[in-house]
Amino acid sequence: MLGRFENLTLDSIDAPVTKLAGIVAAIWTEGKFPLLLLSGKMGSGKTTFVSKLVKALLDHLKPGLDKSKLFVNSPTYTLMNEYPFPEIRNQLEDPLEIFHFDLYRIGSSEEIPDLGFEEYWNGKGISLIEWWEKAEPEFKDRKFRIQIELEEADEDTRNLQIEFLGEEWRRSDLKIESFLKSEKIL
């Protein structure tokens, strides 16, 4: 299932991000661990998107949580940032852990096993992965994948494409098709 949102400003991107966060929160609450794969050129807004998504997830999972000290930044040099929220738990009593990866500095997918990231991608928290193409073979058979592509329309606007990959998303209770249609997909 694929949706495309065009000419979004940083403010207008909040609507689809908030709705996407609701879908991701519902899946995580059930004890499933979604992977969000982010594509886009340098400066297209991937980290800004991640920051908005993390805050929207928290709004869905624990409304009123103080996010004033939450700082979501690019893990370009550290490769991974972890955002733990032990006070938020899913149905299996797992604490919320959000893992933000940036694989830009990875030379090839052959480096991935040495880094140990599979532990996270195989079912631990919510993973948001920038430059995921560098490790593409790692993701092709994983459940609950969402591919997100950001492209710069001009200096102030972005085009956003969201694709829900896999049969797992075809559940009517998630209302993904209505989400994609409600945003006036072009």
User: Domains of the chain by range and CATH?
Assistant: 2-34+44-61+71-182 (3.40.50.300)
What is the chain's pLDDT, residue by residue, as a tens digit (186 residues)? 888 888 898 788 888 999 999 999 999 999 999 999 999 998 888 999 999 999 999 999 999 999 888 989 888 888 999 999 999 999 999 999 999 999 999 988 888 888 989 888 888 899 999 999 999 988 888 889 999 999 988 888 999 999 999 888 988 888 888 888 765 543
Which residue type is seen at 139?
Answer: F
Give residue 77's pLDDT: 85
| Cα distance between residue 88 and residue 95, in whole Å | 6
To the nearest 10°, report the CA torsion of 100, 174, 85, 47: 30
78-98 b/e (C-beta count within 10 Å ≥ 16 → b): eebbebebeebebeeebebbb
- Residue 76 structure tokens: 């370009």
| Cα distance between residue 185 and residue 20, in whole Å | 14
